[in-house]
Structure 1
Amino acid sequence: MNWSEICIHTTQEAVEPVSHVLHESGASGVVIEDREDLFRDWDTKFGEIYDLSPEDYPEEGVLVKGYLPVNSFLGEAVDQIKQAINHLSSFDIDLGLNKVTVSEVNEEEWATAWKKYYKPVKVSDRVTITPTWEMYEAVHDDELVIELDPGMAFGTGTHPTTVMCIQMIEKYIREGDSLVDVGCGTGVLSIAAAKLGAAKVHALDLDEVAVHSAVINTKLNKVHDRVSVKQGNLLDDTPSEQDLIVANILAEVIVTIPEEALKLTRPGGMFITSGIIGQKQAMVTEALEKAGWTVMETIEMEDWVAIAAKKPDRVD
């Protein structure tokens, strides 16, 4: 089968929402080509990045590429993708050039091209993420290795927003904690939480494809006895008295749930949020504080921000 490559020339801010649009449209895999990758100070002791060629990257901005099968519905699908991406501007998301191009690729070529860039990556003091097709053995006794197969769901676990979430989970989680992962994607945050000591993890995603991928990955990492994956919208039907709630989703969505998250979290519990572009940090912080959360820590990576907030030990 031949595939059509849908390439959107956009900005770092728009990478996640554009990727989501592609997946919602049935794109089988997403490739992100960001020229900034050429100039980052990569930790390569695990061999995770190699042979990056400037010719593979745009002169400015970011290329987000999705893949659809070549069939009679292709033209309609491309038009819907363009409309959905244009609609993102109503959320005050900078789309940059927002140039969409379409080209045809061979299935074998597509299936292997993106994998050469996905290698084992140490994302925190204890957690290393490796794709299932790479042979990797833990370097240290306390190292926790997550094997991940993204399949058709969004998320290899190496995006700055995911990395920061894992770092914060590692810092704030305690043995035996309960946790909710809002918008779980491939399940990487849920798996990390379980490996770091969570006794019960509720992984939620509205996307059926993501739920299927998360179920596979929790079994692959042998944490399916502690991670329950369910299709659901945000915090709907979430059990109360949670120790942590983690939401690596768009800032515009995060600001809609702080009040509900506060009700579902035990006194002293934590709310860890990411997926926040720097310019929207103040908006999220304001929503958290207005709902009654106390911001404990903010970390930044590239243009992204993650926030850890605490529910007061006593709520009057």
Structure 2
Amino acid sequence: MNYVRVEFILNPLQPAREILYADLDILGFEAIEDTQSGAIGYMPEIKFTETILENLMVRDLPDQKVEFKIDTIEQKNWNEEWESQFQPIQINSECVIRAPFHKKTEVAYDIVILPKMSFGTGHHETTFLMAQELFQHELKGKSLMDMGCGTGVLAILAKKLGAEDVEGVDIEEWAYENSIENAELNQTNDIKFFHGDVSLISNKQYDVILANINRNILLNDMKDYAKALKDNGSVLLSGFYETDVQAIVSAAKRNGLNFVHSKEKNGWAMIQLSK
């Protein structure tokens, strides 16, 4: 599959970049990376039309200049580009997330991820926050669902931390397939991954639910998370900005969930909810 690579140049850079991230998420860009002058977004060529860039909210900011460069790259070129830039990421003293071509690390939790186009290597703030948070919870013997599992990295880490029945769901078929591949790389083949949406958890219950997606989907699916969470269970959410925390918490409370705490990193946030 070919991908479209769009480089966005922003002047001034802030607060435009945070708004651009939200734009790209809503428009369906599957991966985003920072640059010194803005950001680069990736989208499958079959889904991309240049007209969608006319709907960027960031372009409506007063005195804001937005320029972009569009290129088409083959899937193999994406992999080459990613491999040349990807570096292992240390979540804490016990955990490193790396690629298969990196040297094995001598830590307790050495996670191997080949992300392809999935969003979740630990480099993005939201994945980093969620991975760190998992170490603060007693997962041994717990059932856990990873909604929007992407690479499967959070489900894999949870399994290694002792979670018993671990499942993951992603609406994108390539992410679903990538999760299975990564589970095999980490000898966590008993994780059950599914291709689908939140409706797949409608008749199930879990001790822990993870969802690192985006603000709009989290707000829309909050009722489903609440229904699928066992009493005394926890929901860990990320994929949104620090400025979105109040809206997320309000939606959670409307659905019978309690706010426990939040963490932030470079403007991005994660929150823990309980039942």
TM range (shorter): 0.7 to 0.9
| Aligned match for 1:126, one of 77, 88, 94 | 94
Q: Contact 1:240–1:266 at 8 Å: present in 2 too? A: no
Structure 1 257/77 Cα, relative in aligned 2: closer, same or farther at 3 Å? closer
- For 2:4 and 2:235, how far apart are their aligned partners in 1? 40
How far the C-alpha of 1:208 sits from its partner, in A, is 0.6
Of residues 173-182 and 130-139 in structure 1, the stretch that sits farther from structure 2 once superposed is 130-139
More strand by share: 2
Give the superposed CA RMSD: 3.1
- For 1:107 and 1:256, how far apart are their aligned partners in 2? 32
Within a 5 Å distance, the mapping from 1:238-249 to structure 2 comes to 238-249=202-213
Q: Secondary structure at the match of 1:309?
A: strand
Question: What TM-score, normalized to structure 2?
Answer: 0.84
Within a 5 Å distance, the mapping from 1:1-316 to structure 2 comes to 5-9=5-9, 11-15=17-21, 18=24, 21-23=28-30, 30=31, 32-35=33-36, 58=37, 62-66=38-42, 78=48, 80=49, 82-83=51-52, 85-87=53-55, 89=57, 97-103=65-71, 111-139=79-107, 143-225=108-190, 227-311=191-275
- For 1:310 and 1:304, how far apart are their aligned partners in 2? 21
How far the C-alpha of 1:113 sits from its partner, in A, is 3.3
Deviation sequence 1:10-64 (CA, Å, 0-9, x none)? 62444376267234xxxxxx561333xxxxxxxxxxxxxxxxxxxxxx2xxx221
What code does the residue aligned with 1:138 have? Answer: E
How far the C-alpha of 1:224 sits from its partner, in A, is 1.4
- For 1:105 and 1:183, how far apart are their aligned partners in 2? 25
Deviation sequence 1:94-127 (CA, Å, 0-9, x none)? xx75533124679887543332331111113532
Structure 1 156/98 Cα, relative in aligned 2: closer, same or farther at 3 Å? farther
- For 1:22 and 1:131, how far apart are their aligned partners in 2? 23
Of residues 109-118 and 180-189 in structure 1, the stretch that sits farther from structure 2 once superposed is 109-118
Q: Secondary structure at the match of 2:87?
A: coil
Question: What TM-score, normalized to structure 1?
Answer: 0.74
- Gaps of at least 5 residues in structure 1 are 24-29, 36-57, 69-73, 312-316
Q: Contact 2:5–2:40 at 8 Å: present in 1 too? A: no
How far the C-alpha of 1:235 sits from its partner, in A, is 4.6
What code does the residue aligned with 1:223 have? Answer: T
Q: Contact 1:18–1:64 at 8 Å: present in 2 too? A: no
- Gaps of at least 5 residues in structure 2 are 11-16
- For 2:223 and 2:83, how far apart are their aligned partners in 1? 40
Of residues 302-311 and 108-117 in structure 1, the stretch that sits farther from structure 2 once superposed is 108-117
How far the C-alpha of 1:77 sits from its partner, in A, is 5.7
Q: Contact 1:31–1:65 at 8 Å: present in 2 too? A: yes
Q: Contact 2:240–2:270 at 8 Å: present in 1 too? A: yes
Q: Contact 1:21–1:81 at 8 Å: present in 2 too? A: no
Q: What is the count of residue pairs matched by the alignment? A: 265
Which residue number corresponds to residue 46 of structure 1?
A: none
What code does the residue aligned with 2:212 have? Answer: N
Deviation sequence 1:210-258 (CA, Å, 0-9, x none)? 1011110011111111x11101112534553310001101111111222
- For 1:250 and 1:230, how far apart are their aligned partners in 2? 19
Q: Contact 2:201–2:228 at 8 Å: present in 1 too? A: no
- For 2:182 and 2:75, how far apart are their aligned partners in 1? 24
- For 2:40 and 2:18, how far apart are their aligned partners in 1? 10
What code does the residue aligned with 1:32 have? Answer: E
